[in-house]
Chain A
Amino acid sequence: MIRPVLAVVLNTYREVVRNKILYAILFYAVLLVLTGHFFADVSLNQERRILFDVGLGLISLFAVVLTLFAGTSVIYKEIEKKTIFLIVPRAISRGQFLLGKWGGLFLSMAVIITAMFAILLAQVMFLKLRPEVALFKGVLLVYLEVALLIAVALFFSSFSSPVITGMLTIGFFVIGRLLPDLKQILFTKYQADGFRAVAEEVLQVFPHFYLYVPSGHDLNGRSLSLTTDFVTWSYVGWAFLYTVLGCALILIVAAGVFRRRDLA
């Protein structure tokens, strides 16, 4: 039962890592991670903060771009190239197929994120800075962010074309990142009436991508920064739980949609 899923995981992973475009993007990512902190005006005290914030921010940015790049087309490519004819007739359910796709994409992204993070760490060592725990917390959040983003992309690809999937995924990602700001706007612009209540509920449905931003807002909308009062372990734990449940829920719905689809 697990073996068919693992077969799809491995195949998806191979598809991503054997794609040449990936390496072009990765090359620029590495370049930017290495040079990012030069963009800022570096005073000794600030260097650490900038290196951490900018470095992690860039890793997150590239992970998101690569996820969008790979995640929005995997299902479509299988159908368009008819390779799915070799998969779906076998003893694998459509849900398992989606789970395998998610696993393969996540594995690929995890490897890429780890590689970029290793470069960042090397740079930190090179500059004789102490690699703080905050950095590791930060990169954990990037893994989680990508996990949820892959699920969202797969959900949209279960019924729409890559372009529409791409647009919807980006839309949901941006809204998810801006949720605290959108709530703020609702709060200041509207009275506590029916509309505001409904609007707040609607916003709640969007995946909470703002949770993963290394310096941003926490669950209560409080502003956080990486080096000063960075997130606690329990925060990472809650984010992890949120991600696992979110992914599971999204994939279950996606499987329900995909199960009924004619693959012709």
Chain B
Amino acid sequence: MTEPLPLELSHVHKRFKTGFLSLRTATAVTDLSLALRTNEIVGILGPNGAGKTTTLKMVTGLIFPTAGEVRLFGEPVHRRAARARMGFLPENPYFYDYLTAEEFLHMACGLADMPLAGRQERVTAMLKRLGIHHARALPMRKFSKGMLQRAGLAAALIHDPDLVILDEPLSGLDPIGRRDFREIILDLKRAGKTVLFSSHILPDVEDLCDRVAIIVKGRLREEGALTDLLEHGTRNTDIEVRCEPARGELLAREFPTLDCASTLAGFRLGVPVGENLQELLGRLIALNLEIVSVRPHRLSLEDLFVAHAEGAPPEAPPEREARDEGAKSAPDGEPKSAPDGANQEVES
């Protein structure tokens, strides 16, 4: 392999010294290993206090691992050259309140060792890209939270870094800000960059990330492509068919293993894991039933996250499904056989 990985954490531990005379310690991160491949977006997910910020601080060289190693583009993070290709947006970034946004970005250019020529163009372009060009001459103490976040991202990207580290980039932003930031993050990927960001807002991670790492209490609990993580939590498949309510009898007789619930337009058949789906669909078609949808009923990221956060094994969040069933069948005014069926199915 020629090009080294943009980021590699190997067996990283972090213990903080706390208390009087630093006698006590608090473990924030335990044995964390994670590698980013070029041009992927990876999300670090975890509840408050999980160790996300601590991890990102080690990645950016602000704090040092008690054990283990962090490498950027193959070089240890304490080397200046290693950090030159990285851009970082801290959590709730703080700024020099005596500087204007423009002055601040000029400083960021200097810190990134950019030549004087071309700085002004770059600063103006980034101010415009982040939508704060109108406030360029305003001291940053007068900035709103969202504007500060934008200025922080502008500074993080000013030197066109190959690796971008963002600590809760979307927190504190309004819907427009969130859309802008997501667009920028996706643009980074399109431009071949690598992005690592932390969040506890699940939908953000769900549609931005190629991979997620779930951290709870300082430990990496799960890591992988989102589809894989959610795939192995696949529980069953729902087939929705359109037909007259009268045919429910027939369905129940023909498919005794399925969990049959009526819907507005027909029925939903819950197919347990292990059924031959192809054969089943063939039989349904043969019965001349209109198939509306076939949906693998997946564990949502939320389920996965909550399961990890509560320390439960990842494949056991059954309540949500049962609740869904109940909620959906209620408007039909049908007898409550469907939820019961669902519960039985879950228990077996």
Q: Which residues of A contact B (CB under 8 A)?
A: 1, 3-4, 6-8, 10-11, 14-15, 18-19, 81-93, 259-260, 262-264
Q: Would B83 and A264 count as touching, CB distance under 8 A?
A: no
- On whether A15 and B98 interact (CB within 8 A), knowing A7-B107, A87-B111, A92-B111, the answer reads yes
- On whether A88 and B155 interact (CB within 8 A), knowing A6-B110, A11-B107, the answer reads no
Q: Would A7 and B94 count as touching, CB distance under 8 A?
A: no
Chain B's nearest CB lies how many Å from the CB of A103? 13
Q: Which 7 A-B pairs give the minimum distances between C-beta atoms?
A: A7-B110, A89-B60, A91-B84, A85-B90, A262-B63, A82-B94, A18-B98
Q: Complex Cα distance A11/B104, Å?
A: 9
Q: Would B61 and A89 count as touching, CB distance under 8 A?
A: yes
Q: Would B113 and A91 count as touching, CB distance under 8 A?
A: yes
Chain B residues whose CB sits within 8 angstroms of the CB of A264 once the complex forms: 16, 54, 57, 62-63
Q: Would B155 and A86 count as touching, CB distance under 8 A?
A: yes
Chain A residues whose CB sits within 8 angstroms of the CB of B57 once the complex forms: 263-264
Chain A residues whose CB sits within 8 angstroms of the CB of B98 once the complex forms: 14-15, 18-19
Q: Choose among B64, B83, B110, B114 the residue that contacts A89 (Cβ–Cβ < 8 A).
A: B83
Does B255 interact with chain A (Cβ within 8 Å)? no
Q: Would A88 and B110 count as touching, CB distance under 8 A?
A: no
List 29 contacting pairs A-B, 8 Å CB cutoff, sorted by A: A3-B113, A4-B111, A4-B113, A6-B110, A7-B111, A8-B111, A10-B107, A11-B107, A18-B98, A19-B98, A81-B94, A83-B95, A85-B62, A85-B88, A85-B90, A86-B88, A86-B94, A86-B108, A89-B61, A89-B83, A90-B83, A91-B81, A91-B83, A91-B84, A91-B111, A92-B111, A260-B64, A262-B16, A264-B63
Q: Would A11 and B64 count as touching, CB distance under 8 A?
A: no
Chain A's nearest CB lies how many Å from the CB of B185? 18
Does B20 interact with chain A (Cβ within 8 Å)? no
Q: Would B62 and A10 count as touching, CB distance under 8 A?
A: no
Chain A residues whose CB sits within 8 angstroms of the CB of B99 once the complex forms: 11, 14
Q: Complex Cα distance A263/B96, Å?
A: 17
Interface contacts beyond A81-B94, A85-B62, A262-B16: sample of 16 additional A-B pairs, CB < 8 Å, sorted by A = A3-B110, A3-B115, A4-B110, A6-B110, A7-B110, A11-B107, A82-B90, A85-B93, A86-B152, A90-B83, A90-B108, A90-B111, A91-B80, A91-B81, A92-B80, A264-B54
